[in-house]
Structure 1
């Protein structure tokens, strides 16, 4: 496999405006986007995408964020609050869009059908709301597949949604924007990692408070994007029966991709940093650690785990037969063959950055999109009464 790892380190950068890296996305969305689109059409006059539904009269404007990844299709719709936002609708479905991609180089017919079916649900949910603005992104599977652009055109034809294939830098930045509120302000920063289905982003974060009354803005010292995720690693090494040797082989495949990043960030004191993980892998580890009878975001998001607690859970998962992993309420059948690949990627990150603490984030790209959209519209600045 060609090493497509990308590393950046240099002057610190903060969040961009949500518009700076999507100059053409705004005119392509068909659903109502408030005062800046649709010829000024009022929300109660605009029909939902192909459904004929009318949007609720007088409803408060919402913002929509969609993330179509290698494994999942996820949507959040939210309204701004005093210093953050409140989710009013959400959708998540495992679609495995990248199934078989590592061998064939293209998206399979069955995988695309699954994704389109999920996106039709998303289109219906978006169409039923008064949407002030939105951003709909696709990541590694569509980036790397030879038919990725063709699939994006099919999605627009069949669902009315104009997805934007984002680059790895944008993916890293959006994950940082979504997770920055969980960085411990008493630390020197955090090493954020986002283990996806087809790629993994690792970001060195500072934290600063914003002046607009909203969430803290992401300040990035360095980032790396590795073209390996839970789906690609599991397909290469297996995910049903995983021995300790198999696990170490996964770790050893991933670890070299971090070597240049560790060198780029230079000397650091891991005792003054903490890990910050966003993905199904770390939320699963937290759920198993807490022995939850069913997955509960309110108990997982923001949870702190010590290094030894993480090790114990990973050892426990390695010792579980596949059927037991599938039966665990925090894993399930759809993730049972992927979770150990994710644990191996996590272990590679932990070895590169042996921090004592890991904070778990059940948030990420979608929340980052929402923050950037709302910040670009000045919603918190206006609410705080600050001058524009």
Structure 2
């Protein structure tokens, strides 16, 4: 039986279709589209008309694919971008009316739960770890080991939100970097306090920006073919310095850095740097399995 999950992220919409058998899930198809639903969302807390239309058109296309694959069970979830927008429910109602797709708005806690289930399926969790999923609107953190999670929380410090608020120079200057660090310090007090007591060794990056880090560091890696991979932490720090100090044009010429992430990868790097330093994490692991794989698990 074919089952599918749609993840309506603040920047990117994802569709994944799998064949469910008695013993496993076999991925049949997956795609993502750079919708930028959260474009300018911090100005009036609304999905702007052009982003609204992009999102609707994308889901119309996803519906055609779902029909083509004869999907029997679907779950579509919306996260921070829709969750926080004053017209988020209008978007959901319009999508349902024009495509028949029913969208669940999930809160930050359920989002973190689903991310954990997806990452766990990848086999990336070994010992005390911190899972981090950097989205456009929010970032989720989960302290865990192979037996389960011990603390989880979603914070409204996604890359798109930070970019709209703080990214005012090219390359980003020291003053704006310090403003972001101060913002992270102010918002992540609870995370850092728990993390220092928990003593994780490894940062597990859930897809997104961490896939970009891996692909830029090692252009031979095939993200589509793997569930997890190690990211050399020294190579990451070298890349982070390069990303933060470069201009938009320079980043645009870097191999494997997709246009959607050319600027937001700077915000992601600053968040990653802050967490690595504050919690003295010594290793980075990439999990290509994330929220959408967790959503699929709920359909089994």
TM-score normalised to the size of structure 1? Answer: 0.72
Who is 2:205 aligned against? 277
What displacement does 1:308 show?
A: 2.0
Q: Select which of 124, 134, 137 maps to 1:195.
A: 134
CA contact 2:121–2:289 (8 Å) conserved in 1: no
Query: Where in structure 2 are the equivalents of 1:38-117 lying within 5 Å?
Result: 61-80=1-20, 83-117=23-57
What displacement does 1:287 show?
A: 1.0
Who is 2:292 aligned against? 366
Matched, 1:125 2:65: yes
**Following the alignment from structure 2 to structure 1, what is the Cα–Cα distance between the partners of residues 100 and 226?**
34
**Following the alignment from structure 2 to structure 1, what is the Cα–Cα distance between the partners of residues 26 and 174?**
43
What displacement does 1:304 show?
A: 0.9
Who is 2:182 aligned against? 252
Matched, 1:346 2:285: no
What displacement does 1:107 show?
A: 0.8
**Which has more helix, going by share of residues?**
2
**Following the alignment from structure 2 to structure 1, what is the Cα–Cα distance between the partners of residues 105 and 198?**
34
CA contact 2:171–2:246 (8 Å) conserved in 1: no
What displacement does 1:133 show?
A: 1.9
Q: Select which of 259, 266, 276 maps to 1:333.
A: 259
What displacement does 1:305 show?
A: 2.1
The alignment partner of 1:255 has SS state of: helix
Task: State the superposition RMSD in angstroms.
Answer: 2.0
Deviations 1:45-93 (A, max 9, x none): xxxxxxxxxxxxxxxx111000001100100000135754221112210
Query: Where in structure 2 are the equivalents of 1:1-388 lying within 5 Å?
Result: 61-80=1-20, 83-182=23-122, 187-208=126-147, 219-238=148-167, 240-264=170-194, 267-270=197-200, 273-292=201-220, 296-298=222-224, 301-374=227-300
TM-score normalised to the size of structure 2? Answer: 0.92
**Following the alignment from structure 1 to structure 2, what is the Cα–Cα distance between the partners of residues 177 and 117?**
30
CA contact 1:247–1:340 (8 Å) conserved in 2: no
What displacement does 1:267 show?
A: 1.9
Shifted more, 93-102 versus 258-267: the winner is: 258-267
What displacement does 1:97 show?
A: 0.4
Who is 1:47 aligned against? none
CA contact 1:252–1:348 (8 Å) conserved in 2: no
CA contact 1:78–1:87 (8 Å) conserved in 2: yes
**Following the alignment from structure 2 to structure 1, what is the Cα–Cα distance between the partners of residues 64 and 20?**
21
Which blocks of at least 5 consecutive residues in structure 2 are unaligned? none
Which blocks of at least 5 consecutive residues in structure 1 are unaligned? 1-60, 209-218, 375-388
What displacement does 1:249 show?
A: 2.6
Q: 1:324 to 1:130 in 2, by over 3 A?
A: same
What displacement does 1:269 show?
A: 2.9
**Following the alignment from structure 1 to structure 2, what is the Cα–Cα distance between the partners of residues 329 and 93?**
19
